[in-house]
């Protein structure tokens, strides 16, 4: 793959737990069959019962999530990662608040091989040194205009390539977030929150 993109409206999270909770929504290249991920998107966290929202990028495992700007629930987001001539262009556009827009140019980390072997559209909770954060209730995350392709000049829908839906599960094996079926165009789906942990 040389590019991946998707649009969504930033979900509003519920901060009713006494624990800090985190959710990330993103698109990216790699990560399914290798150990690198080139990714960007949005981040929602509950900290002391208050919700905070940001856009971000990450070149895993070279760096952790880099928060760029504060955003708001309901913002219209366009997220993309493109690869050309050895450079990844990571872009998040907030059409509701253009002050939050960013574009970051990065290369694969020293000693790493970024294969561009897969494309992802992911809603999940990030991990830390002690495990995974609880997943805040985001109700649903709807991805639209999802596209990926092996060249910058053409991109097709999710259904144009081999694809797999992955349910986020707890250590005990029950669902935390479940992706729904693709729409008839093969470029949209809804991810539904099930449990925090």
Structure tokens at 177: 């977030």
Structure tokens at 100: 């939050």
Name all domains of the chain by residue range, CATH numbers in brackets.
3-193 (2.60.120.700)
pLDDT one-digit tens code per residue, 59-75? 999 999 999 999 999 99
Name 32's Cβ contacts closer than 8 Å, sequence gap at least 6. Answer: 117, 118, 120
What pLDDT score was predicted for residue 39?
A: 98
pLDDT one-digit tens code per residue, 145-162? 999 999 888 899 999 989
pLDDT one-digit tens code per residue, 51-60? 999 999 999 9
99-103 LR contacts (CB < 8 Å, sep 24+):
99/69, 100/55, 100/68, 100/69, 100/70, 100/71, 100/75, 101/69, 102/55, 102/57, 102/68, 102/69
pTM of the predicted model as reported, rounded to 2 decimal places: 0.96
pLDDT beneath 70, residues of the chain: 129-130
């Amino acid at each position: 793959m040389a590019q991946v993109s998707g649009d969504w409206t930033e979900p509003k999270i519920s901060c009713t737990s006494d624990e800090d909770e985190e959710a990330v929504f993103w698109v990216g290249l790699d990560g399914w069959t290798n150990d690198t991920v080139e990714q960007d998107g949005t981040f929602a966290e509950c900290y002391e019962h208050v919700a905070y929202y940001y856009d971000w990028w990450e070149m895993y495992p070279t760096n952790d999530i880099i928060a760029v700007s504060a955003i708001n629930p309901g913002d219209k987001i366009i997220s993309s990662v493109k690869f050309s001539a050895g450079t990844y262009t990571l872009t998040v556009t907030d059409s509701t608040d253009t002050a939050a827009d960013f574009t970051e140019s990065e290369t694969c980390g020293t000693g790493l091989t970024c294969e561009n072997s897969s494309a992802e559209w992911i809603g999940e909770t990030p991990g830390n040194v002690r495990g995974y954060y609880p997943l805040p209730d985001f109700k649903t995350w709807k991805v639209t205009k999802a596209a990926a392709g092996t060249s910058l000049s053409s991109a097709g829908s999710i259904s144009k390539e081999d694809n797999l839906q992955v349910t986020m599960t707890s250590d005990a094996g029950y669902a935390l977030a479940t992706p729904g079926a693709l729409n008839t165009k093969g470029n949209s789906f809804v991810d539904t929150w099930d449990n925090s942990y």
